[in-house]
Amino acid sequence: MRNRTPGHSSKPKKNTRPIRQPKKGGAEQDERMRLNKFIANAGVCSRREADELISKGEIKVNGEVVTELGTKVKSDDTVSYGGKKLTHEQKVYVLLNKPKDYITTADDPQQRKTVLDLLGNHFKERLYPVGRLDRNTTGLLLLTNDGELTKKLSHPRYGVRKIYHVHLDRPLARTDLENIAKGVSIDGKMLRPDNIDYANPDDKREVGIELHSGQNRVVRRIFEQYAYGVVKLDRVVFAGLTKKDLPRGKWRRLSQKEINYLKMIS
């Protein structure tokens, strides 16, 4: 969720009544959208979190605070949060094959290259990365302005499948591989990979590991527990999406079939 902009000290007058609803069957009814969906579509947060913002009186419609859940708005209504007007954007879903030396963020105060630089000026919508890949990690990264889907894919409870191709600084001993498969303690919590095996039977420095954890630098930290350095790290699968026909540094829009699949993850 975005940071909230501090408001004025004076408390705005709340409108606890829902915005006038047209009679069922009218043409205007079809153009209306639930306020929580509008907020989620604007990329602010999920629908559930949007309901919380509405209940707390942090959302204005046409200049008035609205606290009634289930309120619907028209396309020409002005919806604002934290003093800023929200835009109901068309949803965009982009799959990127991230190269090294790019930061996984929308903005970088140090003016380093970000993953959004790779998209150029192809999108007027403001996109955000789903999760993170550190600067030296390559591979699949999803970018979107769908706040609700972003929250779902980032939460470990949904078990989003991620597979990494790891290049180590020395061959991984079979006993260490088996111990990692049993689980590794990270930040006081036991983390057990969904799967781990040698990626290349002729070179035991190459390992494939499948995880659904979203912890920061988790793959590198797993191998550091056994004194292995990660020389190269590439995410080859994310939520069922693969790098097929997607060269390093390139991106593509998701197909409608892929979008539907991601929204069905539960």
The parent domain of residue 44 ranges over 14-85
Report yes or no on 234 lying in a domain: yes
Q: What is the pLDDT of residue 2?
A: 44
Strands 138-144 and 230-238: parallel
Report yes or no on 3 lying in a domain: no
* 245 and 146 together in one domain: yes
Report yes or no on 123 lying in a domain: yes
* 169 and 151 together in one domain: no
**Which residues make Cβ contacts (< 8 Å) with residue 153, sequence separation at least 6?**
130, 131, 142, 160, 239, 262, 265
Please determine, for residue 231, whether its predicted confidence score (pLDDT) is greater than 50.
yes
Residue 32: pLDDT band (50, 70, 90) is: confident
Please determine, for residue 13, whether its predicted confidence score (pLDDT) is greater than 70.
no
The one-character DSSP state at 9 is S
Whole-number percent of the chain with pLDDT over 90: 58
* DSSP string for 87-100: --PPP-EEEEEE-T
* 24 and 70 together in one domain: yes
What's the whole-number mean pLDDT along residues 236-252? Answer: 96
For residues 117 and 265, give the distance between their C-alpha atoms in angstroms, rounded to a whole number.
Answer: 29
Residue whose C-alpha is closest to residue 90's, from 41, 35, 45, 143 = 41
Q: What is the pLDDT of residue 117?
A: 94
* 165 and 193 together in one domain: yes
* 226 and 165 together in one domain: yes
Query: Of 37, 67, 85, which marks where a domain is finished?
Result: 85
Report yes or no on 105 lying in a domain: yes
Residue 228: pLDDT band (50, 70, 90) is: very high
Q: What is the pLDDT of residue 10?
A: 46
What's the whole-number mean pLDDT along residues 250-257? Answer: 96
CATH number at residue 217: 3.30.70.1560
* 256 and 130 together in one domain: yes
Global pTM reads 0.71
Whole-number percent of the chain with pLDDT over 70: 88
**In 10 A of CB 97, how many CB atoms?**
20
Query: Of 54, 85, 116, which marks where a domain is finished?
Result: 85
Asked if residue 113 lies in contact with residue 99, where contact means CB atoms within 8 angstroms, the answer is no
Residues annotated catalytic, as ranges: 134
Please determine, for residue 4, whether its predicted confidence score (pLDDT) is greater than 50.
no
Please determine, for residue 28, whether its predicted confidence score (pLDDT) is greater than 80.
no
pLDDT digits (tens, 9 = 90+) for 202-214: 999 999 999 988 7
Residue 148: pLDDT band (50, 70, 90) is: confident
Asked if residue 93 lies in contact with residue 145, where contact means CB atoms within 8 angstroms, the answer is no
* 18 and 40 together in one domain: yes
Q: What is the pLDDT of residue 220?
A: 96
Number of domains within the chain? 3
For residues 54 and 171, give the distance between their C-alpha atoms in angstroms, rounded to a whole number.
Answer: 55
CATH number at residue 72: 3.10.290.10
CATH number at residue 258: 3.30.70.580
What's the whole-number mean pLDDT along residues 209-237? Answer: 93
pLDDT digits (tens, 9 = 90+) for 88-132: 778 899 999 999 999 998 878 888 999 999 999 899 888 999 988
Q: What is the pLDDT of residue 175?
A: 98
For residues 196 and 216, give the distance between their C-alpha atoms in angstroms, rounded to a whole number.
Answer: 19
Helix (H) or strand (E) holding 262: helix 256-264
What's the whole-number mean pLDDT along residues 200-225? Answer: 92
Q: What is the pLDDT of residue 266?
A: 59
Strands 195-198 and 206-211: antiparallel
Query: Of 41, 63, 85, which marks where a domain is finished?
Result: 85
Average confidence score pLDDT of the chain? 86
What's the whole-number mean pLDDT along residues 137-151? Answer: 91
What's the whole-number mean pLDDT along residues 228-247? Answer: 96
Report yes or no on 200 lying in a domain: yes
Q: What is the pLDDT of residue 104?
A: 92
pLDDT digits (tens, 9 = 90+) for 36-56: 988 877 778 878 889 999 999
How is residue 242 written in tokens?
């693969």
* DSSP string for 149-201: HHHHHH-GGG---EEEEEEESSPPPHHHHHHHHH-EEETTEEE--SEEEES-T
